[in-house]
């Protein structure tokens, strides 16, 4: 028996679970719960209110599901608003059951979003989550069982798989970096950070995925901290002047990038709260950490990969930031096979 239990309880990343009645109900096209949805005629997406414990700040789940499905269905385009293949091949009354599984060892991320896509087109579908976001699972692990209307499940399939594959790929790569950073040649006290190198529109989800893999989020955007980099310094005239301007503007957190050891003291004297040590060798990083002497946190950035991260961590820096976690992570190999009922 499949359960209509919600994976969405696990999306907040804070360990909180919603009441059993907290289930996400979405509706796409012109239907309402218990009525048939006719996708043959283009129609704007219509959704009923969400009831869920989803609490990812800044991310609008309803909008994301609605716009992603509308994009795939061609809503608003001439001849769009339909899944022409499922509509022409699959009988309207047909029902499917399916299993989503991992073909590789992965860190799971995005299952609550997959559930939301399926429920958007079939609110009455039965979903059983067999794994949860943040789980480390071996190849061949079943992640989710689904039963419902065949047309609806096939229409939602690609959107659901795309997001789980993408986010699980990020989480899996992140764990690889954390493991290398904290290994025998690294530093178990060092913390991995992500960056703003994210796909437009997916930042909150991608940064959520890095957390599932063991990283900590850096700035969420341009608003929550000042990060003074070389171009800001070029305009201001010096590292010290750039930091002073941010300090005088009342900025509460000032991160300053330094490229050389002689920039460290001017940045600290001007009031920097955090130093980003950019493109430094492990030896130079070690010297920089000694100069800072614990006055502010230190972060290594640039030239970081699986071969170099341990040596950079061993230098004694507090953090290492890696852009490729969200910029270059390959999609996880996850499949979904349906069978007719």
Tens of pLDDT, residue by residue over 176-203, are 999 999 999 999 999 999 999 999 999 9
The CATH number of the domain covering residues in 8-170+329-340: 3.90.1170.20
Confidence (pLDDT) at 153: 97
260 phi, psi to nearest 5 deg: -135, 160
Distance between start and end Cα atoms, the chain = 14
What average pLDDT values come out for the chain (341 residues) when binned by 10 residues? 43 35 33 34 35 71 94 95 95 96 97 94 95 97 98 97 98 98 97 97 97 96 96 97 98 97 98 98 98 98 97 98 97 96 91
Strands (E), 207-333: 226-228, 254-258, 274-278, 298-301, 319-321
The H or E element that residue 193 is part of is: strand 191-193
pLDDT at position 54, please? 52
- pLDDT given at position 234: 96
DSSP state, residue 306: T
The pLDDT score that the predictor gives to residue 13 is 38
- Cβ atoms of 13 and 212 within 8 Å: the answer is yes
**Architecture of the domain whose range is 178-327:** Alpha-Beta Barrel (3.20)
Enumerate the domain spans of the chain: 8-170+329-340, 178-327
The predicted structure's pLDDT at residue 9 = 41
- Tokens 């229409």 locate to 155
pLDDT at 56: 86
């Amino acid at each position: 028996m499949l359960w209509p239990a919600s994976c969405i309880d696990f999306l907040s990343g804070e360990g909180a679970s919603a009441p059993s009645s907290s289930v996400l109900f979405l509706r796409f096209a012109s239907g309402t719960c218990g009525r048939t949805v006719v996708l043959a005629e283009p129609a704007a997406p219509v959704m009923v209110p969400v009831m869920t414990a989803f609490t990812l700040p800044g991310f609008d789940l309803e909008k994301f599901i609605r716009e992603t499905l509308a994009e795939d269905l061609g809503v608003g385009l001439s001849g769009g608003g339909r899944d022409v293949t499922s509509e022409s091949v699959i009988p309207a009354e047909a029902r499917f059951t399916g299993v989503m599984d991992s073909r590789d060892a992965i860190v799971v991320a995005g299952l609550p979003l997959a559930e939301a896509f399926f429920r958007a087109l079939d609110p009455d579908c039965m979903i059983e989550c067999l794994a949860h976001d943040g789980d480390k699972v071996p190849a061949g692990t079943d992640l989710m069982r689904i039963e419902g209307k065949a047309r609806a499940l096939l229409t939602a399939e690609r959107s659901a798989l795309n997001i789980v594959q993408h986010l699980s790929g990020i989480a899996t790569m992140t764990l690889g970096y954390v493991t290398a950073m904290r290994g025998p040649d690294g530093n178990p006290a060092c913390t991995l950070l992500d960056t703003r190198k994210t796909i437009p529109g997916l930042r909150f989800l991608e940064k959520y995925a890095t957390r599932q893999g063991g990283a900590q989020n850096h700035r969420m955007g341009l608003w929550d901290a000042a990060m003074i980099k070389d171009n800001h310094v070029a305009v201001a005239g010096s590292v010290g002047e750039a930091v002073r301007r941010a300090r005088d503007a009342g900025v509460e957190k000032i991160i300053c990038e330094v490229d050389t050891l002689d920039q460290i003291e001017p940045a600290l004297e001007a009031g920097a709260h955090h130093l980003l040590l950019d493109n430094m060798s492990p030896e130079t990083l070690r010297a920089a950490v000694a100069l800072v002497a614990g006055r502010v946190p230190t972060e290594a950035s640039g030239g970081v990969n699986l071969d170099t991260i341990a040596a950079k961590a061993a230098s004694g820096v507090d953090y290492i930031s890696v852009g490729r976690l969200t910029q270059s992570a390959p999609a996880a190999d996850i499949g979904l096979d349906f069978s007719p009922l």
